Amino acid sequence: KLPLESIQVVLEELRKNGNLEWLDKNKTSFLIMWRRPEEWGKLIYQWVSKNGFTNSVFTLYELVSGDDTENEEFHGLDETMLLRALQALQQEHKAEIITLDDGRGVKFF
């Protein structure tokens, strides 16, 4: 058991490192991330590059649940975190999130 002040110090350090995001203004609920979205994006893009999938389109489902990614660390990643990772790649001009008839997808560059 830690005193409240110590818990707040730990949480603030996690936030500074990008591994914690406050979900409310009162700082009563938060999301702790094993990896930052940028780190997930890097892993995904390494897989894309390694397998020659640049200039390819994937559904979000294919990325996190498809047979091709079964042995990858991002397989089974929560969709919210996946979108954050893809947004990070989009900012780097390595991907573009697109809307498909049956949901969302991503094109890698």
pLDDT in tens, 46-101: 999 999 999 999 999 999 999 999 999 999 999 999 999 999 999 999 999 999 88
Token pair of 74 as six digits = 């991002």
Write down the pLDDT at residue 103. 86
6 vs 9: CA distance, rounded Å? 5
The pTM assigned to this predicted structure is 0.84
Write down the pLDDT at residue 100. 84
Residues 27 and 42 in one domain: no
Residues 68 and 97 in one domain: yes
Write down the pLDDT at residue 1. 87
Residues 30 and 63 in one domain: no
Residues 28 and 54 in one domain: no
89 vs 109: CA distance, rounded Å? 10
Contacts for 46 with CB less than 8 Å, ≥ 6 apart: none
Residues 99 and 63 in one domain: yes
Whose CA is closest to 20, among 30, 10, 29, 28? 30
Residues 50 and 27 in one domain: no
The radius of gyration of the chain's CA atoms, rounded to the nearest angstrom, is 16
Degrees (nearest 5) of the Cα angle 15, 21, 24? 125
Residues 51 and 84 in one domain: yes
Q: Are 54 and 106 in contact (CB under 8 A)?
A: no
Residues 50 and 101 in one domain: yes
Domain span including residue 67:
37-108
Residues 52 and 98 in one domain: yes
The terminus-to-terminus CA distance of the chain in angstroms comes to: 48
Q: In the predicted model, what is the mean pLDDT of residues 35-48?
A: 97
**Domain total in the chain:** 2
Residues 6 and 45 in one domain: no
